[in-house]
Amino acid sequence: MVGYKRTTRPWWIRISGIGSLLAGLSLTAAACGSTASGASGSTGQGVPAGYATFALHTGDSFSWVLPLPNEANFEPWNQNAEYGMYRPLYVAGNGSSPVIDYGRSLANPPTYNSTNTSVTVTLKPYKWSDGQPVTTRDVQFFWNLYVANKTNIASYVPGNFPDNVSKFTVNSPSSFTLTLKAPVNPVWFTDNELTDMFPLPQQTWDRTSLSGKVGNYDMTTSGAKAVFKFLDQQSSHLATYATNPLWKVVDGPWVIQSYDPVTGRVVFRRNDKFSGPLPRLAGYVLETYSSQTAEVDALRNGQLDYGFLPNSDYQLAGSLRAHGYTIAPWATAYVQWAELGYTSKRYGPLVRELYIRQALQHLVNEPLYLKATLHGNGQLTYGPVPNTPGSPYVTPQEKTDPYPYSVSAAKSLLASHGWTVHNGVFTCSAPGVGPNKCGAGIAPNEALSLLLMYGSGNSTLSAQVEAFATAAKAAGIRITLDPQTQNTMFSIGGVCPPGPCNWGIILYRTFMWNYGQGDVLPTGGQMFGKGNYWGGGYSNSTAQTLIQDTHTQPGLQPLYNYENYISSHVAALWFPTWDWQISVVSTKLHGWKPQQIFGDPTPSRWYF
């Protein structure tokens, strides 16, 4: 485990009204900060003619080419690039609509039997870049690898795909059928299960070494494990991305042309043998930056076609417009939340208590954060379903705050459950289980103290967590702030569960991708279901039943029941959801509107 540094709150934060004023001032300062010049990004390497440049968020870089993600690389920017090379059966997100884009998908709409216990998929006539047809053998290859190695694949949730499938049947080179173990909700299975399947080039990848012959190794469990191990190892060799022959065979519109393993800068060229509509660009470049300052400098210098403006530099929008850019907030169907360390030995007993989670939620001043730090570019968040305008999935309950900002309400909840204030911090004076008790596993005289790990290098996020910690201090809760780089956060937070969870709360810059490719209908199985990866180990039998109902029962009422429960149960701490970014796009670049609902820039649509 990577080591990390603890930090303490600045000495000038106080519980008094002056402290509250300072918190508000810190938010305003973050919103009005300026950018200094002098930093450098990756754009100095030159861009070929006919190529467009796109800026990844600060600290992000393309670091995984194999479209079978491990936990350390299960990230949206990786998936966006992967699916430009290896297209899934069904592509999530059609422009600004949270639905499947059947036009860009490799298969026709699926057909279910009358009892919803089997589904048949028919492939469109696509070809690999080596001229071989994309067939059901390639889907079977994916299936065999996934089934044999599912516990090593980050998208796997026990009970979901492939556990809910009893049989994979090849009907023809263009058709296959999945026999299901029980009836399913067809919308859920299509949107959240079939979107996670894609053909892999069996004729190239079904091997156990680069020098070995291609075979049918995947047809046995041991062979599928050996092939997966080989492919996984090859994907970890970043320096060979542009030269490894494995990654040259694609069925999508792009193929890697060059890759810088130091900066993560990657150049994609057009796959001229792509079976779908050919991109009008000759290629595109994913640019990487070590700081927001470097990215803004690249915009100022005209080195980027498609970048972003940090919230802390929002005042530069007018100047960038005057220099040939369009400013366009990018709203996405995501949800921002802070994970809670349910499986932590130290912090778990605290966050497992509902009244403590309710008290903490009372200390998140969402309206202030949205106005002062995000300039209104985002949505208020009160539960697990994206509160995007016009969404048919959000209930009336989730459109209003069940735990509005109130320091006094937080203090009242704690006092009524056996906590008393000593030296400004609540301590447990009534240990045990039952009414007016602190709760299971909370020791006598234990202080209500939590470690909050959050993404460093972003003044907007820093302002939010500092304001939250200030409010918590006013309520008698000690929050220790622990800023970390995103990679460090993944290495520490990403192993929990199963653990250890050496944090009480963890908050990323944005929660990035609760929904999108692989999880279109916001039913929450990957987030708050048993064995979840992003829920901090949240586990609740009622929630599990409600989630299962969304998988098996038709209509939207099961979804509404689930989201209302998770919202009121405070399965996570809800924070305002940021727009994915404030995009800054050259007026010379076209085809990028509307910005895709799940954060995929879809460069195959761009043109100059």
Domain at 164, CATH number: 3.90.76.10
Residue 401 clears pLDDT 80, i.e. is over it: yes
pLDDT of 491: 76
Could you give the CA distance from residue 317 to residue 585 in angstroms, rounded to a whole number? Answer: 11
Residue 494 clears pLDDT 80, i.e. is over it: no
Express as a percent the part of the chain with pLDDT over 90. Answer: 73
Same structural domain for residues 294 and 176?
no
pLDDT of 308: 97
Positions of E strands within 446-603: 449-455, 478-484, 505-507, 573-574, 577-578, 581-586
Is 536 inside a domain boundary?
no
Q: How far is CA 420 from CA 425, 447, 460, in A?
A: 8, 10, 33
SS3 label, residue 603: helix
Same structural domain for residues 587 and 574?
no
Whole-model pTM: value is 0.81
Is 76 inside a domain boundary?
no
Confidence bin at 43 (pLDDT 50/70/90): very low
| Residue where a domain terminates, one of 232, 265, 292 | 232
Same structural domain for residues 341 and 301?
no
Residue 2 clears pLDDT 50, i.e. is over it: no
CB-CB contact of 92 with 110 (8 Å): no
Residue 532 clears pLDDT 90, i.e. is over it: no
pLDDT of 516: 67
Is 38 inside a domain boundary?
no
pLDDT of 562: 95
Same structural domain for residues 390 and 257?
no
Domain that holds residue 154: 87-232
Is 484 inside a domain boundary?
yes
When divided into structural domains, the chain yields a total of 3
Could you give the CA distance from residue 69 to residue 79 in angstroms, rounded to a whole number? Answer: 9
Confidence bin at 41 (pLDDT 50/70/90): very low
pLDDT of 3: 27
Could you give the CA distance from residue 399 to residue 383 in angstroms, rounded to a whole number? Answer: 9
Average pLDDT over residues 593-604: 94
SS3 label, residue 526: helix
pLDDT of 25: 37
Non-local (6+) Cβ contacts of 562 within 8 A are: 384, 523, 524, 543, 546, 547, 549, 550
pLDDT of 11: 20
Positions of E strands within 485-596: 505-507, 573-574, 577-578, 581-586
Average pLDDT over residues 43-52: 81
Same structural domain for residues 395 and 462?
yes
Instruction: Report DSSP letters for 431-454, one per residue.
Output: -BSSTTS-BTTPPTT-B-EEEEEE
Residue 364 clears pLDDT 80, i.e. is over it: yes
Is 161 inside a domain boundary?
yes
How many Cβ atoms are within 10 Å of 548's Cβ, its own excluded? Answer: 18
Confidence bin at 73 (pLDDT 50/70/90): confident
Domain at 475, CATH number: 3.10.105.10
Same structural domain for residues 306 and 227?
no
Is 547 inside a domain boundary?
no
Could you give the CA distance from residue 291 to residue 275 in angstroms, rounded to a whole number? Answer: 38
Same structural domain for residues 368 and 496?
yes
Which of these ranges, 39-48, 157-166, 437-446, 554-563, has the smallest mean pLDDT?
39-48
Is 345 inside a domain boundary?
yes
pLDDT tens by residue, 250-295:
999 999 999 999 999 999 999 999 999 999 999 999 999 988 899 9
pLDDT of 119: 98
Residue 31 clears pLDDT 60, i.e. is over it: no
DSSP 8-class letter at 397 = G
Same structural domain for residues 423 and 315?
no
Which of these ranges, 42-51, 262-271, 539-548, 590-599, has the smallest mean pLDDT?
42-51
pLDDT of 520: 86
Non-local (6+) Cβ contacts of 316 within 8 A are: 35, 296, 309
Residue 122 clears pLDDT 90, i.e. is over it: yes
Same structural domain for residues 143 and 200?
yes
Distance in angstroms between the alpha carbons of the first and the last residue of the chain: 46
pLDDT of 416: 98
Domain at 327, CATH number: 3.40.190.10
Average pLDDT over residues 89-106: 92
Confidence bin at 517 (pLDDT 50/70/90): low
pLDDT of 36: 32
Which of these ranges, 7-11, 96-100, 375-379, 552-556, has the smallest mean pLDDT?
7-11
Is 286 inside a domain boundary?
yes
Confidence bin at 405 (pLDDT 50/70/90): very high
Same structural domain for residues 363 and 490?
yes
Mean pLDDT across the chain = 89
Same structural domain for residues 370 and 506?
yes
pLDDT of 223: 98
Q: Is the peptide bond before 497 cis (omega within 30 degrees of 0)?
A: yes
pLDDT tens by residue, 138-168:
999 999 999 999 999 988 888 889 999 999 9
Express as a percent the part of the chain with pLDDT over 70. Answer: 90
Same structural domain for residues 222 and 124?
yes
pLDDT tens by residue, 467-488:
999 999 999 999 999 999 877 8
pLDDT tens by residue, 304-349:
999 999 988 999 999 999 999 999 999 988 889 999 999 899 999 9
